[in-house]
């Protein structure tokens, strides 16, 4: 059995804001691109333009329509990747030691040269965050872009996971949860950051910020007078342009 470190110096992870995520999949594409060209074996695709395409992805976005007890239904986009759990069952079940958790920063990685592709870690992970690469025959997972966050050849602003750097909505945040003053620690405290499936007892490092309640119709009615245009008819150049376009 592979052993977990008793403690980790840092606890690097992500905070994902479900209120801000727009489901654009930019994080999925950037993750696929970076991890195909850099750390470990490429993320392969099988029959990508055929009738039954499949492939290896370290980050996926699922969308759900949620019906609250009061109010209209809302669409929630839910990104999912490895949560780098403190009590990671994927590590302790690994028969070769290929799956391990780093003591210096808490990142869970796979040593692909030792992986025999048995799939036990995928069975042990309650989040479905591990994927077998069909071309390489090894297990793949999110690395928090470990080859990127420590790369001093990159500008400091780029030393974050590719998904965080790419997110156009600012829904993904990266930092050290062992530092109570870090951005991710403060976000978690202020917004009530939640563990995914806490009943599993894995103590995931990554946190999710819950969606905020959406505006109700009566609130929108209050704002309606302020949403009316200030100028009813355009004047000057815009007025001329509007009339010219009407004639086309």
Of the pLDDT bands very low, low, confident and very high (cuts 50, 70, 90), residue 146 is very high
Q: Is 234 helix (H, G, I), strand (E, B) or coil?
A: coil
139 located within any domain = yes
- Asked whether 211 and 71 are in contact (CB, 8 A), the reply is no
Distance CA 144, CA 146 (A): 5
Tokens of 225: 């007078």
26 located within any domain = yes
**Residue 174 clears pLDDT 70, i.e. is over it:** yes
230 located within any domain = no
Q: What percent of the chain has pLDDT over 90?
A: 76
Distance CA 6, CA 82 (A): 20
4 located within any domain = no
110 located within any domain = yes
pTM: 0.83
163 located within any domain = yes
Distance CA 24, CA 230 (A): 33
What CATH number did the domain enclosing 159 receive? 3.30.70.20
Residue 226, pLDDT score: 63
114 located within any domain = yes
Question: Mean pLDDT over residues 229-248, rounded?
Answer: 71
Question: Mean pLDDT over residues 175-179, rounded?
Answer: 97
State which residues form the domain around 180: 12-218
pLDDT, one tens digit per residue, over 183-232 is 999 999 999 999 999 999 999 999 999 987 765 555 556 666 666 666 56
Residues across the chain:
248
99 located within any domain = yes
Higher-pLDDT residue of 87, 73: 87
Of the pLDDT bands very low, low, confident and very high (cuts 50, 70, 90), residue 89 is very high
- Based on the structure, what is the number of domains in the chain? 1
Mean of pLDDT over the chain: 90
């Amino acid at each position: 059995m592979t052993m977990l470190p008793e403690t980790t110096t840092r606890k690097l992870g992500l905070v994902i804001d479900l209120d801000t995520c727009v489901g654009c999949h930019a994080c999925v594409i950037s993750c696929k691109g970076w991890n195909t060209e850099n750390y470990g074996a490429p993320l392969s695709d099988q029959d990508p333009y055929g009738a039954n395409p499949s492939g290896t992805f370290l980050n996926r976005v699922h969308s759900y329509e949620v019906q609250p007890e009061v109010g209209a239904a809302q669409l929630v986009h839910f990104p999912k990747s490895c949560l780098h759990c403190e009590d990671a069952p994927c590590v302790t079940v690994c028969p070769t030691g290929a799956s391990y958790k780093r003591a210096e920063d808490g990142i869970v990685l796979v040593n692909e040269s030792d992986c025999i592709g048995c799939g036990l870690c995928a069975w042990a992970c309650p989040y479905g965050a591990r994927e077998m690469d069909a071309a390489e025959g090894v297990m793949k997972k999110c690395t928090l872009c470990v080859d990127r966050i420590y790369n001093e050849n990159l500008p400091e602003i780029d030393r974050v996971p590719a998904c965080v750097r790419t997110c156009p909505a600012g829904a993904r945040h990266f930092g050290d949860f062992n530092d109570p003053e870090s951005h991710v620690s403060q976000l978690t405290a202020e917004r009530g950051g939640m563990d995914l499936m806490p009943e599993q007892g894995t103590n995931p490092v990554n946190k999710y910020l819950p969606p905020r309640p959406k505006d109700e119709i009566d609130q929108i009615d209050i704002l309606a007078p302020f949403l009316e245009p200030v100028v009813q008819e355009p004047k000057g150049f815009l007025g001329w342009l509007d009339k010219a376009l009407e004639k086309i």
